[in-house]
Amino acid sequence: MFLCWCLSLVALIPLTTSTNPGVKVKLTAKGIEYGRQLAVASILQKLKTIKLDDMSGKVRVSPIGKVKYSLKNMKMVEVGLPTAALDLVPGTGPKLSIVNANFRLHGNWRVRKHFVKDSGSFNLNADDISFSTSLSIKTDPTGRPAVSSIDCGANIGKMSVRFRGGASWLYNLFKKSISSAIQKAMQKKICPLVANAVSDLNNNLKTLNVLAKVDKFAEIEYSMVASPAVSKTSIDIGLKGEFYNIGKHQEPPFSPAVFSLPPQINNMLYIGVSSFTIESAAFVYNTAGALSLYITDDMIPTISPIRLNTRTFGVFIPQIAKRFPGLMMKLLVKMAKAPVITFEPNNATVQSFASVTAYAIQPNATLTPLFVLNLVSSVGARVFVSGTRLAGAVTLNKMDLTLGTSDVGDFQVGILNSILQTVLNFVVIPRMNAQLAKGYPLPTLGKMNLVNTQLLVLKDHVMIGTDVQFTG
Ligand SMILES: *[C@@H]1O[C@H](CO)[C@@H](O)[C@H](O)[C@H]1NC(C)=O
Ligand SMILES: *[C@@H]1O[C@H](CO)[C@@H](O)[C@H](O)[C@H]1NC(C)=O
């Protein structure tokens, strides 16, 4: 007894403290390479906008003494980032290193010494520029990832200035001190700029659909359950991946099990959707009462010889024909509990437990209950990605009927198999499939397209491998 109690207590603990993700996202080296390209483009764009404030100062030059100089209208003309690497530092985050960068700057110069005045323009070439920064990825208060630049360092290796206009004997005297002043000023600008470019990435990350609306019943929560795990070859992100009733977040009586994505590298991104996520959907729809359906004769295709009336049913259960002649019938299919979803390699199965209540429709529209059946059915599911949504289609594997209660005497339920199969195949399943075909939103950022997408059904989860394209 005590042991039982202990075990049940242990079983309960994960309910309240578990932070196992329902959805896992793995960003592979290929995905990180794409991220690098986006980051470099963004940094390049930023560097092009770099503006140096006007500078002025005095330099002592022999033999003429102190000379006042000013530099104005300095503008970036060209920036090159020939080598950029984004490496993953396990436990920390990605590290962006740029070496051999260069830029060209144009500006105007002016010097004064008593009555000597001179001015002209200059071109400045900076080469051998290197900078590196580590990126920290944390969870922001909304559960979205947020990156920031830490430990940034920048160095400008070589600098050369070429003056134009004015007297060369004069500017050659102070060229060196001016170029070192610019070098210092420039060096100070790079890291704040990189930090800025990195924090701009957050505008994109903020578009993560942490609460994705599905329909009038449900929404999916995709907030991060912990900070991303960075290994040498991937960044792994755990998302909640749980369906909730809109506005009312009631936890289901089960929680996500641990699952791990297999080591795949061909796509940029791998998304693992656990059976927990799908079961939480089933829980939500069932709780919302959305998994019940009244079935009337007009819903059954006219080609079917099986009709929902007391004549058809009376053939199998004579009492029905005798007591309720010439009446139409109605069935209420209602989930008894949330369906169970099983993912095994190449096999997605949904087992559902429903009750089927049969009514005769009296001429005054009153429904007279005839009998209640318990229906356990198993459907095989084909799961696929449609756009940025996870969709599905099911077909009936098998069904099992038992008699619940009867107001029309005892009968062998087996004789109703063909009727129920017709109802499932022609009414219930097409309706489910119409719903499933609409799909459920996957975690996405901004205007993201999925390309080269493949999906595998694996143990306890489905794995989507995909490349990503951002369109604006
Ligand atoms: C899938 O698994 C279910 C049991 O979970 C089994 O009944 C069914 O036959 C399997 N289907 C295939 C195609 O293997
Ligand atoms: C409707 O008809 C049935 C059967 O004739 C009868 O038992 C029932 O009382 C009627 N209900 C109403 C509301 O008239």
Q: pLDDT by residue (tens digit) across 231-249? A: 999 999 999 999 999 988 8
Residue 14: how many CB atoms within 10 A of its CB?
14
Instruction: For residues 39 and 85, give the distance between their C-alpha atoms in angstroms, rounded to a whole number.
Output: 10
* pLDDT score for 472: 66
Q: Which is nearest to 290 in space by CA: 234, 328, 232, 243?
A: 243
What number does the ligand 2 atom closest to the CA of 366 have? 1
- The better pLDDT of the pair 59, 282 is held by 282
Q: Read off the tokens for 376.
A: 């356990």
Q: State the Cα–Cα distance between residues 446 and 204, nearest whole angstrom.
A: 6
Looking at the structure, do residues 255 and 235 belong to the same domain, yes or no?
yes
Q: Are residues 186 and 238 part of one domain?
A: no
Are residues 238 and 154 part of one domain?
A: no
Name the token pair of 225.
Answer: 């359950």
Same domain membership, residue 363 and residue 260: yes
pLDDT at 417 over 60: yes
> 68: part of which helix (H) or strand (E)?
strand 65-80
In a domain, 184, yes or no: yes
Q: How many domains does the chain have?
A: 2
Residue-averaged pLDDT of the chain:
88
Q: Report whether pLDDT(15) > 50.
A: no
Q: Are residues 143 and 252 in the same domain?
A: no
Sheet strands (E) in 307-416: 328-344, 347-361, 367-386, 389-406
Tell me: pLDDT of 14 over 70: no
Q: Are residues 277 and 403 in the same domain?
A: yes
Domain boundary among 187, 205, 223: 205
Whether 139 is in the pocket of ligand 1, judged by its Cβ within 6 Å, is no
What lies within 8 Å, CB to CB, of 99 at 6+ separation is: 83, 130
pLDDT band at 363 (very low <50, low <70, confident <90, very high): very high
Dihedral angle computed from the Cα positions of residues 277, 282, 285 and 290, in that order, rounded to the nearest 10 degrees: 150
Q: Reduced to 3 DSSP states, what percent helix, strand and coil does the chain have, rounded to the nearest 5? A: 25, 50, 25
Check pocket membership of 386 for ligand 1, CB cut-off 6 A: no
**What's the pLDDT at 4?**
41
Q: Residue 10 has what pLDDT? A: 37
Kindly tell me if the per-residue pLDDT of 67 is higher than 50.
yes
Q: Whose CA is nearest to atom 11 of ligand 1?
A: 347
- Give nearest CA residue, ligand 2 atom 14: 364
CA distances from 399 to 343, 353, 376, 402 (A): 19, 10, 6, 10
CA distance 361 to 384: 41
Q: How many residues does the chain have?
A: 472
Residue 183 inside a domain? The answer is yes
- pLDDT at residue 53 above 90? no
81 & 187 share domain: yes
Would you give the DSSP letter of residue 205?
Answer: H
Pocket of ligand 2 (CB under 6 A): 362, 364, 366
Distance (Å, whole) CA 51 – CA 122: 16
Q: How confident is the model at residue 16 (pLDDT cuts 50, 70, 90)?
A: very low
Query: For position 40, what pLDDT does the model report?
Result: 84
pLDDT score of 100 more than 50: yes
The domain boundary, picked from 163, 188, 205, lies at 205
Q: Which of 3-12, 266-275, 439-448 has the lowest mean pLDDT?
A: 3-12
**Res. 39: pLDDT tops 60:** yes
105 belongs to a structural domain = yes
Average pLDDT over every residue of 14-43: 81
Collect all residues with Cβ–Cβ distance below 8 Å to 3 and sequence separation of at least 6: none
C-alpha of residue 367 to centroid of ligand 2, in Å: 9
Q: Which residue from 274, 271, 236, 270 is spatially nearest to 255, judged by alpha carbons?
A: 274
Q: Which domain holds residue 321?
A: 211-470
Distance 369 CA to ligand 2 centre (A): 13
- Least confident stretch, 139-143, 198-202, 418-422, 447-451: 198-202
C-alpha 426/C-alpha 115 separation (Å) is 100
Rounded distance, CA 307 to CA 426, Å? 12
pLDDT > 70: percent of the chain = 96
Q: Point out which residues pair with 88 in neighbouring strands.
A: 94
Q: Whose CA is nearest to atom 11 of ligand 2?
A: 366
Residues 180, 289 within the same domain: no
Regarding whether 249 and 156 lie in a shared domain, the answer is no
- Residue 378: which CATH number? 3.15.20.10
* Of 118-127, 182-191, 413-422, the least confident: 182-191
Is residue 72 included in any domain, yes or no?
Answer: yes
Question: Of 181, 205, 229, which marks where a domain is finished?
Answer: 205
- Of 10-19, 97-106, 272-281, 429-438, the poorest mean pLDDT is in 10-19
- Spatial CA neighbour of 377 closest among 264, 261, 291, 248: 291
Identity of the amino acid at 215: D
32 within some domain: no
Q: Are residues 267 and 297 in the same domain?
A: yes
Please indicate, yes or no, whether residues 217 and 196 belong to a single structural domain of this protein: no
Give mean pLDDT, residues 136-164: 90
Distance between CA atoms of 417 and 369, rounded to whole angstroms?
19
In a domain, 17, yes or no: no
Rounded to whole angstroms, the Cα distance separating 357 from 147 reads: 56
Query: Is residue 133 assigned to a domain?
Result: yes
Average pLDDT over residues 166-194: 81
Ligand 2 centroid from CA 324, angstroms: 13
What number is the average pLDDT over the span 50-65?
Answer: 80
Q: Which atom of ligand 1 is nearest to the CA of 351?
A: 5
Please indicate, yes or no, if residue 317 is contained in any of the structural domains.
yes
When comparing pLDDT for 183 and 274, which is higher?
274
In whole angstroms, give the CA distance from residue 414 to residue 316.
10
The reply to whether 218 and 78 lie within a common domain is no
Q: Which protein residue's CA is at the shortest distance from atom 6 of ligand 1?
A: 349
Q: List the CATH number of the domain containing 104.
A: 3.15.10.10
Lowest mean pLDDT among 43-47, 395-399, 458-462: 43-47
